[in-house]
Copies of this chain bind each other. A is one copy, B any other.
């Protein structure tokens, strides 16, 4: 497979722009040779026009035929695994092991949506039989059916070059729903993204899908994203990234004559509460789980635990020692890009510099782009008084908050804004008196985990990957699992048919 510098507009390619850019190898700390043509206004318009034209054709294909298309993509990803993983690692600094796990997950996501839509009645939501003798008026028959909302713009995520980018969860669920997809590729992994895009097009041609159901545009500039969101043919947007980025898209979408839904997943602090008996019985195991959850893939997950709430009690010192021992054994890992590394260092230093905050660093590295794992420590009172301590630090950092008692933990939790996840480690005995705190966690989070860590998001039917604002722009929808398809469908009632 050859990386192409061109934009992919349906079954054609296009390189009309003057501006090019390169992606970056963070391990070697240097640019990668390939360059990419930034999409022009005309190219964006061409992709959106083609998507509009393709929409009625795609929407009228059967779920079964779209399932064949999704499985063909999956199969091509598998066939080209070696080339994909190679470029993935070059452009992201993530190792091949992580690349393989992520590619497996991407393939499984495609399979999940294929399974969802290959059933004959997958789109039948409800049915009412006619009652022609009802008084005072006969009741007509009704069938409520799911219908695709139209072309969807998907923004690639920096931290998931496979699973949340080109043909990740957003794209797979939109295509499954019957919506054409226009990907604005993430510039940090433009090459990997281009390879995947070529495979999607190959699969579309092989399985007889119409031209225009998938386009792939290169861009460093925010202007390209702006034009895509403002284009009248765009009917929804999928995004995973920063709060600032997500909110910028949300505001653009609301400025349109026709406002459209933006599904932005914008990060989270993912608080974990660890209680005394859990520490006492399982402290060693918990400390290891938490260390891995904070530091794996350099902590570059939206579900990385960023807050650890513990009680000031006789178990604490032991637990902190365990945590420190584990942190001392963590090998610093390369981060995705120098900009992300700089932002990480700025973020962890900001936390460290706050009053009443102590910092432990067990394994410092000066290597460019490698993230130094760090735990900061404060008390419950300071945490509630200083809003800066609630800012997400994207990378291998977590803030440990030592509280005086359960009611202080509860106040801290009540002070938090919306989160993707919240976790609690406790014994069966402790669980019995936790109903208040559990309810508080439900008020802020989209997923509650008992005796487990939030990373390693399971792709299953009952996963909810979402949560109250500012974790996402719409807490009622999930970005992971088969229900992600409902973001891109709307119901239509057919009255009096058959």
Contact = CB atoms under 8 A, between A and B. Distances in A.
Interface of A: 56, 59-60, 125-128, 137, 139-140, 142-144, 147, 149, 250-251, 254, 258-259, 261, 417, 439, 442-443, 445-452, 456, 458, 460-464, 466, 468-470, 473-476, 478, 483, 486, 489-497
Contacts of A497: 448, 450
A4 to B, nearest CB: 34
A137 B493 contact: no
A467 to B, nearest CB: 8
A259 to B, nearest CB: 7
B495 A460 contact: no
A269 to B, nearest CB: 16
Contacts of A452: 140, 495-496
B492 A446 contact: yes
Given A261-B476, A476-B489, 12 more contacts: A128-B460, A142-B458, A142-B460, A144-B463, A149-B468, A261-B474, A442-B492, A446-B491, A464-B491, A464-B492, A475-B490, A478-B491
Contact of A462 (B142, B250, B456, B462): B142
Given A261-B474, A464-B491, A476-B486, A496 B450 contact: yes
Given A259-B469, A439-B60, A442-B147, A493 B254 contact: no
A461 B128 contact: yes
22 contacts: A60-B439, A126-B483, A127-B462, A128-B458, A128-B460, A128-B462, A142-B460, A144-B461, A144-B462, A149-B468, A149-B476, A258-B417, A445-B492, A447-B493, A449-B496, A450-B494, A462-B493, A463-B493, A466-B490, A468-B490, A476-B490, A483-B491
Contact of A461 (B126, B251, B470, B489): B126
Nearest to A235: B468
Chain multiplicity (copies): 2
A315 to B, nearest CB: 22
A49 B235 CA distance: 37
A259 B262 CA distance: 12
A125 B451 CA distance: 22
A462 B126 contact: yes
Nearest to A146: B476
A475 B60 contact: no
Contacts of A470: 258
A123 to B, nearest CB: 12
A305 B195 CA distance: 51
A121 to B, nearest CB: 13
A492 B470 CA distance: 16
Contacts of A259: 250, 469, 473
B139 A458 contact: yes
A468 B140 CA distance: 23
A439 B496 contact: no
A394 B258 CA distance: 22
Given A258-B469, A464-B144, A469-B258, A448 B128 contact: no
Interface centre among A142, A251, A445, A469 (most CB of B within 10 A): A142
B448 A494 contact: yes
Contacts of A143: 462
A495 B450 contact: yes
Contacts of A125: 462
Closest 7 CB pairs of A and B: A126-B462, A142-B462, A144-B462, A464-B493, A475-B490, A447-B493, A464-B491
Nearest to A143: B462
A418 to B, nearest CB: 8
Nearest to A448: B494
Contacts of A491: 446, 464, 466, 476, 478, 483
A234 to B, nearest CB: 13
A381 B258 CA distance: 25
Contacts of A490: 446, 466, 468, 475-476
Nearest to A124: B462
B456 A137 contact: yes
Interface centre among A142, A144, A448, A462 (most CB of B within 10 A): A462
Contacts of A59: 439
Given A251-B254, A446-B490, A463 B261 contact: no
A474 to B, nearest CB: 7
